Structure 1
């Protein structure tokens, strides 16, 4: 499938002229599973639209602990890279390819010009800001106001929605890192969820049985 067809399929609201200029001015880049795509302190000269794959966006503290923020999927854009690029600021986040990933890299100069030339691009950028902001609010809500067991259920539900599968290939260590918790705490909570019939664990494969967020009698 050509870049033009992928753009039209994943971003159907873009007018034909915008798609044509994207194909001409943007660059397709590929990243392997596990490859870093964005680092703290990095300067941005472009933003990206996701064409294939899955990207994990997170923050890292001074001790190297990761704090999961959200995922980016095909049909979405990295709103934070847009903000940092336009304001010429360095990145405060990190991003890693969860699977083999293909993006469309758009140079800053064209991103700015398209904001005034194409209404669909203008609205897409605003919608990207709004969507990522709402995701962050939900994440913050679960961190600040929920117990760890509720946070874990929320996290597993997001993983299920993102992967579109009830079978999650993920380790206890990965979950603990994303939730900024210890492996022991997550292991104990997963055992509790398993006993209550929410999940089934088999090594690094976690099967979702039910995630209704309701107390189990």
Structure 2
């Protein structure tokens, strides 16, 4: 069952022998929106591969606020989690379900063995690192060079894309928390974006006009 689900997401990538190991050792896990999948300072015992849904990866700052780093979507894994597995370190991120979904958790104790044994696993891990590095660089550029208004627009478009809907059901406070700013700032910027025609503010709902 597990290997069939992974083959749908990744056709022709993994060796049959490796897929059989996934089937034997993997654990299917369903999650719901806002579930904490991995928490900060948690010991990492498994490597998640996302089969459906979306997960947001958050980083805690020195003042115990949080910043959204990137989203994981179908077929992704978290390279920061892989790094913790390889180095036997505690998690430095919080993974929170953005939507309902399903993942398979693979045992971290098999990481070194699979890296040495399976070319397809090495390719998967390296591609995952490269993809997450690109996303991290994009996040850094976004914070360093873009205004908060630009960051907010990108965030809203990302959420709309993930949910495949122009309607966003998040409070101003939730958005502020994920962008590590204040609710007052977000409310002011949302109003400005509405005036510019980018979105429409409804009660407890934001509609992206340009999506």
TM-score range, shorter chain: over 0.9
Q: Which residue of 2 aligns with 1:126?
A: 126
How does the TM-score come out when normalised to structure 1? 0.90
The answer to whether structure 1 residue 210 and structure 2 residue 200 are counterparts is: no
The 8 Å contact of residues 44 and 81 in structure 2, kept in 1 or not, is answered as yes
Matches within 5 A, 1:48-197: 48-197=48-197
1:10 matches 2:9? yes
Structure 2 gaps of 5+ residues are none
Separation of aligned partners in 2, 1:69 and 1:77: 14
Report if the CA contact (8 A) 2:171-2:204 is conserved. Answer: yes
User: How many residues in Structure 1 have an aligned counterpart in Structure 2?
Assistant: 210
Aligned equivalents of 2:32, 2:156: Cα separation in 1: 24
CA drift at 1:62: 4.5
Q: Give 3-state SS (helix, strand or coil) of 2:28's partner.
A: strand
Distance 2:80 2:195 in 1: 40
Alpha-carbon offset, residue 155 of structure 1: 1.3
After TM superposition, give the deviation of residue 3 of structure 1 in Å.
2.2
TM-score (norm 2): 0.93
Q: Secondary structure at the match of 2:58?
A: strand
Could you tell me how far apart the structure 1 residues matched to 2:195 and 2:114 are? 54
* 1:175 match: secondary structure: helix
Q: Which structure 1 residue ranges, 4+ long, deviate > 4 Å from structure 2?
A: none
**In structure 2, how many angstroms separate the alpha carbons of the residues matched to 1:98 and 1:147?**
24
Shift of 1:16: 2.3
Partner of 1:214: none
SS in 2 for 1:141: helix
Distance 1:146 1:30 in 2: 36
Q: Say which SS state the counterpart of residue 50 (structure 2) adopts.
A: strand
